[in-house]
Amino acid sequence: MSPEQIHKLESGVAEIRRGSNRHDAVAILGTPSRQELTSHQEKPNEVMGRLYYYDVRIVDPGIANVFDQQIVLVFDYKSDQLRQIMSSVPEIR
């Protein structure tokens, strides 16, 4: 990602808050690099959430690396509200 794109993510993450709508968050941050559905360990057949990954710096595509930097948005599956923002990017905390 270019420095401009990282700055856009940084300012976008600062703008969205817990409880924000998923569509609003995507409008601010742009399309995620990938998406995943999550389930609870006790109910593996019940979808609990939606994870949106924004890849900032990936060391080796296809192989997880401790130096990869990502932002992950966690949304409630039923309400589409933002529950958590996780970041391994030093500029975005």
Domain that holds residue 73: 3-87
pLDDT of residue 61: 75
pLDDT of residue 55: 86
Give the domain CATH number at 14: 3.30.1450
Q: Give ∠ CA 58-62-66 in degrees, rounded to 5.
A: 50
Domain membership of residue 72 (yes or no) is: yes
Surface-to-core class of residue 52, CB atoms within 10 Å of its CB (0-12 exposed, 13-18 middle, 19+ buried): buried
Tens of pLDDT along 1-44? 777 888 888 889 989 999 999 999 999 999 999 999 998 888 88
Residue 90's CB: how many other CB atoms inside 10 A? 7
Tens of pLDDT along 68-91? 888 999 999 999 999 999 988 887
Give the count of domains, the chain. Answer: 1
Instruction: State pTM to two decimals.
Output: 0.83
